[in-house]
């Protein structure tokens, strides 16, 4: 899949910085998050590095005193540890800019061996583990995306808005039902132009 940038290399770098700052600000404001610095690597036997789907092997190296370290693949486990360690209260949390190396990644326009992504985690109550709270959070995040897109297109008129104004939710089982598939097919163009689909999976305990 080819990608042709509408901005120069320098303009792209400036726009990337603008996106990072704006989206991070919006995310922290709407979800009550605090930015914290994540680890670039952890001790290999710490149990804090995720194996993702079990196939990827982390980049490892040896530091002083013979300790084995691994570049992080994911901050999933570390974030939960950090929430407790830093003492975050209910409905507050952390946001981190993770830099990682995934040497077994299938690379392309959307994926790279080098990973630069946001990670966030929020403390919630047990009774909030339901589809209603999930939808509330998803809507908040999508509002962050919409506001960031508006800000970016104002600063770079050559770029155009592409995000639909609405987001709708559909369950995995519903997607398999013929009636919903027919509805999606008949209204395919309308959905693509005006809404975003968010696929909901049944929530379970971890």
Partnered with residue 98 across adjacent β-strands are 117
> b/e string for 173-202 if b means 16 or more Cβ within 10 A?
eeeeeeeeeeeeeeeeeebeeeebeeebee
pLDDT of residue 175: 62
Higher pLDDT, 172 or 127: 127
Q: Could you tell me if residue 29 is inside a domain?
A: yes
Q: What is the DSSP letter of 46?
A: S
Average pLDDT, the chain: 84
Domain count for the chain, please give it: 1
Query: Has residue 198 been placed in a domain?
Result: no
Give the per-residue pLDDT at 69.
94
Q: Which residues pair with 43 in a beta bridge?
A: 69
Asked whether the predicted pLDDT for residue 184 surpasses 80, the reply is no
Q: How confident is the model at residue 198 (pLDDT cuts 50, 70, 90)?
A: low
Mean pLDDT of 6-34: 94
| 63: in domain | yes
Question: Does residue 162 form part of some domain?
Answer: no
Average the pLDDT over 118-124 and give the result: 94
Residue 182 in this model has a pLDDT that exceeds 80: no
pLDDT at 140 over 60: yes
Residues 7-20: what's their mean pLDDT?
A: 93
Those residues whose C-beta lies under 8 Å from the C-beta of residue 166, and which sit 6 or more positions away, are 194, 195, 196
39-67 residue pLDDT tens: 999 998 888 887 666 677 888 999 988 89
91 in any annotated domain: yes
The parent domain of residue 48 ranges over: 11-125
- Is the per-residue pLDDT at 177 higher than 70? no
Question: Does 132 reside within a domain?
Answer: no
CATH number of the structural domain spanning residue 39: 3.30.930.10
pLDDT tens per residue across span 59-102 = 899 998 889 999 988 898 999 999 999 999 999 999 999 988 88
206 has pLDDT over 50: no
Whole-angstrom distance, CA of residue 205 vs CA of residue 126: 10
pLDDT of residue 30: 97
Say what the pLDDT of residue 196 is.
Answer: 58
Q: For residue 45, is it within any domain?
A: yes
Residue 78 forms part of a structural domain? yes
**Which pLDDT score, from 0 to 100, does residue 14 have?**
94
Query: What does the pLDDT average to over 193-198?
Result: 56
The residue with greater pLDDT, 45 or 190, is 45
């Amino acid at each position: 899949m080819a990608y042709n940038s509408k901005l120069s290399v320098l303009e792209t770098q400036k726009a990337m910085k603008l996106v990072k700052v704006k989206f991070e600000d919006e995310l922290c404001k709407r979800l009550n998050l605090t930015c914290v610095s994540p680890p670039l690597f952890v001790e290999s036997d710490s149990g804090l590095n995720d194996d993702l789907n079990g196939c990827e092997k982390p980049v490892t190296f040896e530091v002083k005193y013979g300790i084995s370290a691994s570049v992080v693949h994911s901050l999933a486990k570390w974030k939960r540890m950090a929430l407790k360690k830093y003492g975050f209260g209910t409905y507050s949390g952390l946001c981190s800019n993770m830099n990682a190396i995934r040497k077994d990644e299938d690379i392309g326009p959307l994926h790279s061996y080098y990973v630069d992504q946001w990670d966030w985690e929020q403390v919630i109550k047990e009774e909030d583990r339901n589809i209603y709270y999930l939808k509330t959070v998803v809507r908040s995040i999508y509002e962050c995306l919409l506001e960031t897109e508006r800000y970016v297109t104002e600063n770079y008129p050559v770029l155009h808005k592409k995000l639909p104004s609405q987001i709708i939710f559909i369950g995995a089982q519903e997607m398999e039902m013929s009636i919903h598939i027919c509805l999606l097919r008949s209204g395919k163009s309308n959905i693509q132009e005006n809404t975003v689909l968010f696929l909901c999976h049944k929530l379970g305990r971890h």
